[in-house]
A and B are shown apart, each in its own frame.
Chain A
Amino acid sequence: MTMSSMQRRAAPPPSVDLPPYPEHHAASSIGQQMATRAAHWGATARGLRDEIAATEEALVAALDAQDRREANRTRLREALNANTDRGLR
């Protein structure tokens, strides 16, 4: 007897048509709500992380701008001082 003929002769497991567990509305409704909430909470977490990153970026950009303004002020002050020195000589 070949393997394939043995497989052909193997009796299928007895199948019984069992009535399903009666679904309760509250459970399936809460299940759907949880799926919706999961998506919402995931999006909220992503939004919060994006906001943290954007705020950090804005602060860094503002600091850079402040540094540039300060450097400009220093250069201007130095130039003014140099002019004053030349004027005094």
Chain B
Amino acid sequence: MTILNPHEARIAARHLKYDNTAEERENVQRVDREVFDRVAEYERGVVASARADADKGDRLASQAVTAVADLNARFRAAAADGDVTRDLLREFNRVRAQAEALADSLNVAERTAQWHAGRLSDVYGTWLALVQKYPTLKPGIRVQ
């Protein structure tokens, strides 16, 4: 008997009739292990993806620090000195567009990181939800 929903497969394995307790324990452990192996595979993928996005977000945050320093050094300083030229304003418009795009990218990175954090706080539950939503992604679990 094969069951598509891994969580139900684990429950079904515990409700089957067995000839003896050793057989029951062995089968229940096998089904659990099979499910956990699949969750672990998913978990490895989530961790790798989170690490890659962490590196990307860190780079963006570092660029933002540089952008703030640049705004201060070139434009705030010129404003304080009362030395605002047309060329400086044109340059500010260019830098502002870049800085706004950077802030948007940081917000995307923020939401992505929150999504990863949610998935990693309950890997089993997230994986179950994924399999239930897309059952064809994962083959069923043989219960007996």
B contact face: mostly helix, strand, loop, or mixed:
helix
Chain B contacts with A in 59-83, Cβ cutoff 8 A: 60-61, 64-65, 67-68, 71-72, 75-76, 78-80, 82-83
| Cβ B89 vs Cβ A59 within 8 A | yes
Interface members, chain A 32-72 (any B CB < 8 Å): 32-35, 37-42, 44-45, 47-49, 51-52, 54-56, 58-59, 61-63, 65-66, 69
Interface size on A, residues (CB 8 A): 42
In the complex, B4 has a CB within 8 A of chain A: no
In chain B between 13 and 48, which residues have their CB closer than 8 angstroms to a CB of chain A? 14-15, 32, 36, 39-40, 43, 46-47
| A32 and B117 contact, CB distance less than 8 A | yes
A66 to B62, CA, bound (A): 35
Known: A18-B11, A41-B106. A65 touches B71 (CB 8 A): no
Across-interface contacts of B80 in A (CB, < 8 A): 58, 62
Q: A residues within 8 Å of B by Cβ?
A: 14, 16, 18-24, 26-28, 30-35, 37-42, 44-45, 47-49, 51-52, 54-56, 58-59, 61-63, 65-66, 69
